[in-house]
Homo-oligomer: A and B are copies of this chain.
Amino acid sequence: MEDLEQEYKNYWETTMFFQNQELEFDSWPMEEAFSGSGESSSPDGAATSPASSKNVVSERNRRQKLNQRLFALRSVVPNITKLDKASVIKDSIDYMQELIEQEKKLEAEIRELESRSVLLENPMKDYDCVNNISEIQLQNFPDRNVMRSKKFKQTDYSTRVQYSPIEVLE
């Protein structure tokens, strides 16, 4: 565990750190670096260098942003097996599906648990069996309906179809 973290510390973690530093300074290897004022006023002459020097820094920013995102993805997933770019995404997918499935189970358990609670409370009250469900929920769980309506109804993630994406593709 620890040596894995230590061994892979040079593996696009310090390189990312180097990139972050290189973005501040202009100390990168200076091979055919633009000679002072080559990108704005006069492209006049060689057709290769002035047009591409804008693209290379844009590409570097894009690469850095993707690495930041990948690093951020690594931080939310608890069980990372390998520090590869591909393995990080694979572990994230596994973790997400595990979360979705567990959320489905929890929701089913809540549904079961609250039906039992209604059955137990029912003989003591004089409401009918249908209406007192929301009644009980409202008086005993004030923040419950807010959560339920905000999370469950708008983005109903738990009832989506899951086609097991990583196992199919490989």
Contact = CB atoms under 8 A, between A and B. Distances in A.
Interface string A130-170: 00000000001100100100010001010010110110011
Given A90-B69, A120-B121, A75 B151 contact: no
Contacts of A79: 155
Contacts of A57: none
Nearest to A168: B72
Contact of A166 (B72, B77, B92): B72
Given A66-B86, A73-B92, 18 more contacts: A69-B86, A71-B169, A75-B163, A76-B96, A76-B97, A78-B155, A78-B157, A79-B155, A89-B89, A96-B99, A99-B100, A99-B103, A99-B157, A102-B103, A102-B147, A103-B106, A105-B147, A116-B117
